[in-house]
Amino acid sequence: MPDPLIQSRIAQVLGAEGVPVSAQNDEYRALINPSITARPLHIPESGSIKTIKNKEFKYFLAFDRCGSNPKHERVEALRATGEWDYATTDDVEMRSANDVKGKNEIRSGDRRLMKIPMQRWLEMRKDQMTRSLDMINPSRANAGPMGLGNMTPGMAHAYADDAAVRASARVSDAGSDIQEIAAGGKAAGNASVAHVK
């Protein structure tokens, strides 16, 4: 007997007829079979931290390729700042045991788990966010945020209201504009009309 709840949801999408018997495959029959329970597959996520033991740090997977063509520039550059270091099993517990290569080496494929003090991480994030805000709305010393009229200093600008724009509009006539352009002239109009139904 098909599951009535599933059948009603299928009917909302496909109509009361559902899927013809001739077109039903194994997955569809499983979908409507009430004796089969929907259960997801839970594979441990590679690179996912299960438990953070040391909350004084922020953890981040950085590119670090090993093997026959190693490339360690990213993790070495981070460590050279003196702020980043490799995360250890004292810092975190990983969801997948395969990510733990040793007490001092946690990696997921070509990524190695790094750590940075939480205060320093927050300082970096604040810098990124304030620079983003400046890109959206730059501030000037002693003058406050810039407006649309002065986002490009030194460039001439003007504001126009809707009535002024409409008053100066010259609606193009496609037929005469094409003839004028073909004769070496210019189109007379600077606007077009959209007919909305």
Q: Which two tokens stand for residue 160?
A: 């126009």
Choose among 103, 107, 94: nearest CA to 44.
94
Provide, rounded to the nearest whole percent, the portion of the chain with pLDDT above 70.
Answer: 79
Task: Quote the CA–CA distance of 50 and 55 in Å, as a whole number.
Answer: 13
- DSSP assignment of 104-134 equals TEEEETTEEEEEEEHHHHHHHHHHHHHHHHH
For 126-139, the pLDDT digits (tens) are: 998 888 777 766 66
| Whole-prediction pTM | 0.51
Task: Quote the CA–CA distance of 87 and 113 in Å, as a whole number.
Answer: 6
For 23-51, the pLDDT digits (tens) are: 778 887 888 788 888 888 777 688 899 99
Confidence of residue 120 (pLDDT cuts 50, 70, 90): very high
- Alpha-carbon torsion (146, 147, 148, 153), positive or negative: negative
Mean pLDDT confidence for 170-193: 77
